[in-house]
Amino acid sequence: MDIHFTPEEQAFREEVRTFLNSKLPSDIARKVKTGKHVGKDDMVRWQKILNEQGWFAVNWSVEYGGTGWTPVQKHIFDEECAKAGTPGVVPFGVSMVAPVIIKFGTEEQKQYYLPRILNSDDWWCQGYSEPGAGSDLAGLKTRAVREGDHYIVNGQKTWTTLGQHADMIFCLVRTDPEAKKQEGISFLLIDMKTPGITVRPIYTIEGGHEVNEVFFEDVKVPVENLVGEENKGWTCAKYLLTHERTGIAGVGMAKDLLAQLKHIAWDQKKNGRPLMEDPLFRNRVAQVELELMAMEMTNLRVLAAAQAGGVPGAESSMLKIKGTEVRQEIYDLMRRAVGPYALPFLPAYFDEASEDPEVGPEYAPPLASKYFNNRKLSIYGGSNEIQKNIISKMILGL
């Protein structure tokens, strides 16, 4: 793999920059750059702009409306989006359930759901984790019993990100309770407006409403909403998780965060000198930059293998571990760099309509919230401890 960008790739970067400069709404970019709350309307508005350009479904094949980009083009696009301050694309529809539908779904499911995902007509959420089945996902207990042309679903999901906005949820349910742990599981698409579904908020440590509990009580789901074969949903689940974990690496976002960290470290003073000149702090910044460079190369190799027809395997677990650790370290260094300015946590700051409180440099107010919120990075998508078990088994043969 050539690590140098070709003239064609450099031209593509300029094309992306021109598009972002002209099409990214300034109010959305301002919210992202200043750490303000980015709402559903903002995210949908941006996704529709991307779709109009034909740049929304970057991981889909051209046949279904994807970009047909090379791994390097995807990498460049992610980098430039992070620099420009675009909101993150909500992954549950376009990056998670859509690849499963393309791979395992019926032709009718593809024709119905894929255009709706492209147009952001449906907001999707993920129904995987349960109170007793988080990292041990195969321990799920939500049941689906077939009665004629419907399944009757009962159970509970938790940590359902942005489920308060969702129109649809893709769920793992147990359809054969007598089967072995990773068998007897099916993959269902469920309309969130179906009677019997209740969504309750979970407020995270920094005060945000990002995740939820979802309860199912005698929820009727049409049999045609089954993706793949009954009792073979674990195959769909593993396929989805490898794509999710690769995305969690967040290389473009981490590179932009690193640039922000350096700016803060040069701006803040210690004993009258820039903090970046402190050898201990500078050493930590250098270490995280080296790890990010290595992760970037690994990410490109994994994407290149997937482009050639492969599916990310244990390598996606490596990216998930390192990507989350790198971002957590950067947020920690940012928080340390601003010192006492990171202490105030003022929820009103994140409301766009509020007046910004005077709490030091303009980059300081969001840092405590971002630090606390991103402690979750090493847990969701399968905890890093579980990822290490996957690596030891699939790569090291232990």
**Rounded to whole angstroms, how far apart are CA atoms 152 and 143?**
8
Q: Binning pLDDT at 50, 70 and 90, where does residue 379 land?
A: confident
Across the chain, what does the average pLDDT equal?
89
Quick: pLDDT tens for 144-165: 999 999 999 999 999 999 999 9
Rounded mean pLDDT, 287-291: 95
Query: In whole angstroms, what is the distance from residue 32 CA to residue 156 CA?
Result: 33
Span 19-57, pLDDT tens digits = 999 999 999 999 998 888 899 999 999 999 999 999 999
Residue 354 has pLDDT above 70, yes or no: no
Whether 84 shows a pLDDT value over 60: the answer reads yes
CB 87 within 8 A of CB 35: no
pLDDT reported for residue 397 = 73
The domain defined by 7-89 folds into Butyryl-Coa Dehydrogenase, subunit A; domain 1 (1.10.540)
Lowest mean pLDDT among 180-189, 261-270, 353-362: 353-362
pLDDT band at 16 (very low <50, low <70, confident <90, very high): very high
| Contact present, 78 and 20 (Cβ < 8 Å) | no
Mean pLDDT along residues 363-377: 86
CATH class assigned to 249-394: mainly alpha
pLDDT confidence of residue 366: 84
pLDDT given for residue 123 in this prediction: 96
Q: Which of 80-84, 178-182, 185-189, 196-200 has the lowest mean pLDDT?
A: 178-182
- Establish whether domains 7-89 and 123-231 are of one fold: no
Whole-angstrom distance, CA of residue 345 vs CA of residue 343: 6
Q: Which of 120-129, 219-228, 258-267, 382-391 has the lowest mean pLDDT?
A: 382-391
Q: What are the sequence ranges of the domains in the chain? A: 7-89, 123-231, 249-394
Pick the CATH number of 123-231 from 1.10.150.120, 1.10.20.60, 2.40.30.10, 2.40.110.10: 2.40.110.10
- For residue 358, the model assigns a pLDDT of 58
- pLDDT band of 352, cuts 50, 70, 90: low
Contact 116, 168 (CB under 8 A): no
For residues 310-334, give the mean pLDDT: 84
305 compared with 373, residue with greater pLDDT = 373
pLDDT-based confidence at residue 296 (cuts at 50, 70, 90): confident
pLDDT (0 to 100) of residue 246? 57
